[in-house]
Amino acid sequence: MRHNAYYPMSAAEQILWLTNFYVKLMGHASTLGISSAACAAAVADARWIIYILSTWQPAQRQWAKSCTDAVKEAQTGESGMVMELPVFTPPPLPVADVANDLPAVVPVMTGALSRLFSLVQVIQEAPGYNDTLGTDLGTIGSAATSPDLNLVQPEISVEIRGPHVFVGWGWTGLSAYLDMCQLQVDRGTAQGYVDLAYDTTPGYLDTTPHPAALTRWKYRGIFRVGESQVGVWSAEVSIAVGG
C-alpha cells in the first residue's frame, strides 16, 4: 500500500499517529461536519489497527519465533520428552475505557486504514478545515523534495551463492523516483562490459555457468528512469569464479 504523505512509515510512529488522530477527531468532529456515527466508526477503525500493530503483531512474531525453535527442537533436541507444539493464543482485546467514554476494541471490517484515509480526504475538503486543525489532527504531510537524479548511484555487492553469483543492490531509499537498475558484467573477455539485466527487484542472481579456469568477473550498475540512465555508475565490484 502506498502511504499518504502524512502517514508515518514505522509501526511505532503509526501507532502514535492513529492515537492522536482518533483522540483529536472526537474533539473536532462537529467543526468538520463529521456525524457521531462516522466519528465512532473512525475511532473503532483506528483503535483496531492500534491493537493489531501494538499488541497482536508482536505476539504473533514471538509465536513465529517459538515455532522456529520448535522445528529445531524437533530435529535435534535432546530433552527425551514428547513434544508439544506451540499454539498461538491472540492477546485479549482492550476493554472499554469508561473514563474516556470509549467502548471496548472489537474487530472491524477489513480495509480500516483505507477508510481512515478516505475520511481524511473528506475532512480536508470540509468548510471548517484549516491548517491549524490539520496540524492538530496530523493530516498535513511534510513537503517532499525530489532528489537530484544526476547524483544517484547504486551500491553493488557480489557473493557466491552455490553455483551462481548473487549481485546485491538496493534503491538507496529512492524507489519512488526510480524504475530499475541496469546491471552489467565484464567476464574478462575482449567484449568488456555487457548488459546483464534490467532489474526492477533488488538483488539479482547471475546464473551464467562458472568457467573451468579461475577468472575474475566484474560488475557495475546504474539506475534508470524509463528509457534513460540517471545518475552515475556504481563503483566496480569483482569476484573470483571458476577454477
Concatenating the DSSP letter of every residue in 158-203 gives EEEETTEEEEE---TT-TTT--EEEEEEE-SSTT-SEEEEEESSS-
Domain ranges of the chain: 11-137, 157-241
pLDDT tens digit sequence for 87-111: 999 999 999 999 999 999 999 999 9
pLDDT tens digit sequence for 173-204: 898 889 999 999 999 999 999 999 999 999 99
Between strands 228-230 and 204-206, the pairing is unpaired
Q: Just give the CATH number of 157-241.
A: 2.60.40.10
CB 158 within 8 A of CB 239: yes
Query: Distance of CA 212 to CAs 109, 215, 241, Å?
Result: 60, 9, 9
- pTM of the entire predicted model: 0.60
pLDDT value for 1? 37
29-43, 72-86, 98-112, 141-155: which range is least confident on average? 141-155
pLDDT value for 3? 41
DSSP β-bridge partners for residue 102:
97
CA separation for the pair 39, 37 (Å, rounded): 5
